[in-house]
Amino acid sequence: MIAYVDIDIKRKLKGAYISARVLNIVISAIRDRSTGGKMKVLRTICVLAIALCLATSVYAGTQSVKISGDLSVRSITRGNYDLDHHHGEAAEYTAPAAGDLARALNAAETSDFQNYFMTTTELQIDADLTDNVSTVIRLYNQRDWNVRTQAAADFATDQDNVILSNLHTGNAEEFDVGVDLAYIELKEFLYSPLTLKIGRQDIWFGKGFIVGANLQDPQGTINANEYTAVSSFDALRATLDYDPWTIDAILALIWENDIGSQDDQTLTGINVGYVFDSYNAEAEAYWFHKMDKSTVPPRLIKEHNTVHTIGVRGSADPIENWTLAAETAFQFGDFVGFRDQVDTRGRMAYAFDVSGECRYFKEHFAWKPIVGAEYILYSGDNEERPTRYTNGMYRGWDPMYRGKFDTAYREFVGQYNFTAQGLRGMQPDYIDTFQDASYTNQHQVLAYGSLMPTDSLRVDGKVAFFWQQYARSMESTALEQLPAGELSKQNLFLGTEIDLQLTWDYTEDVSFGLLAAWYIPGNFYDDRNDDTATDLVGTVKLSF
């Protein structure tokens, strides 16, 4: 109510100001008429018409305003997130050689056990204007409570040349407010089925397998980046609604850096969807193109990373309360892996996502059980240790802008979570840096279920298994207790994850949640890096 009153007052004040200007103009014109003839009368009429148009435009603005938002507070407790319990805040490793980023990052880890709080605040304004014009603005602040960010670039040593890892610096942007959404929506633009969205917006297609989120932490104020509130794109989107057909075209600027520099990252694409009359069925076909000049700019060749992704997706309920879904996608283009790559390499990769869900028991039992399963494959490159001279087709999957993540830990490895063994296997100046990354060269099988003991309490459980498509080998170091330079080939099995989550709707506006997750490493990891990672997240969320 306050928002409406405030807007109305501002509009009336502006209207009163312009009305006063109009009155002054009319009075001046009448004076001119008494001294100056028919031309002065004509000028009076023209000026009065223009002034009335300006005054009228003040009242042609906002029809309605909706203010909404949410506030989430999380307590995060984590242990052994790098799968290595041996290190801690006490200095343990000798200083890395110059340029040995892998060991530097590993040595700079702090305690294996972390416990801290995080707050996410969002405020959204939806305004409907005249003539099918509307706008959405969402402001946010996300921060860890009074945490000092580790200085990743600075490593101090004592007299024995041993790294001291407990180095932190203050974060001056902890309480900054950012913009997540800011776009204009124009419905029936020039043509009744056409809708345009211009500005910073959320973009999600299908299950978010290819395009769903552009996860960011612009201020660098949180450590659990998978909980970031910012997933939007700076984009132009055109939607043609020919029910039951929908055609979307997008152009998004992901990374600009310095204006004029040749290191941009852009996303373009077309998505065509169709909704069937029966079986609750739908289908989509798409093409998305990522031009990436931002990562590892090549020195010796002119090509950049280009990823063309084409695919189809469909889902249906062949039997009541049963849903089957499948999606397959293929990638082609150019691949640049090393800064000093000598030969041009083509790209040819593929991915599959197949799932099924049964809600039959939900209708027959008081606790409303639901069960389901899903299988995902991301193709991998079979080169064990690529070098600058490696050529031939690259077959590793590019994650694009995936928005759907089903597990709390494993699916973020290589993006937000980094294991000690993965850091040691990291290759300098190489795009596919981590040998145990979760977004490429991986099979995953997920089984899940849910129960509702009461109308306000929900229990979700998941178990997931992960293994590699091709065995990876990584250069051993003294830390692995193997001869330096020897290649240690790892087993394909990456590990098992178990996730349990409780959600209690305290009221319509407030909910409580508790997530417990365990990742048990498989034979891929050596004995020094196979400790179970644990994650415990408590959440209270208010929505309005």
pLDDT higher at 466 or 302 = 466
Task: Check if the beta carbon of residue 80 is closer than 8 Å to that of residue 124.
Answer: no
What mean pLDDT do residues 33-45 have? 46
Q: pLDDT, tens digit, for every residue of 98-114?
A: 344 444 444 444 457 88
CA–CA separation, 410 and 465 (whole Å): 10
Cα 38 to the center of its chain, rounded Å: 67
DSSP string of 475-540, one letter each residue: E--GGGTS-TT-EEEPPSEEEEEEEEEEEEE-SSSEEEEEEEEEEEE-TTS-GGG-PPEEEEEEEE
- 5 or 390, greater pLDDT: 390
pLDDT per residue as tens digits for the range 123-165: 999 999 988 999 999 999 999 998 765 444 343 443 333 333 3
**Residue 411 CA neighbour count, 13 Å, CB half:** 23
Two tokens, residue 454: 């009461």
Q: What is the mean pLDDT of residues 52-57?
A: 44
The tens digit of pLDDT for each residue in 331-380 reads: 999 998 887 888 889 999 999 999 999 999 998 899 999 999 999 999 99
- Structure tokens given for 70: 């949410």
The pLDDT tens digits of the residues spanning 411-438 come to 999 988 889 888 877 776 777 778 899 9
Average pLDDT, the chain: 81
Token pair, residue 341, equals: 């790559």
CA–CA dist 131, 122 (Å, integer): 28
Separation of alpha carbons 145 and 158, rounded Å? 30
CB 370 within 8 Å of CB 450: yes
Tell me, what amino acid is at 344? T
Looking at residue 294, the DSSP 8-state letter turns out to be S
pLDDT at residue 475 greater than cutoff 60: no
* Whole-number Å distance between alpha carbons of 9 and 6: 5
pLDDT greater than 90 at residue 52: no
Structural domain boundaries in the chain: 2-58, 64-543
Residue 92 or 470, more confident: 470
pTM as predicted = 0.81
CATH 2.40.160.100 describes domain 64-543: yes
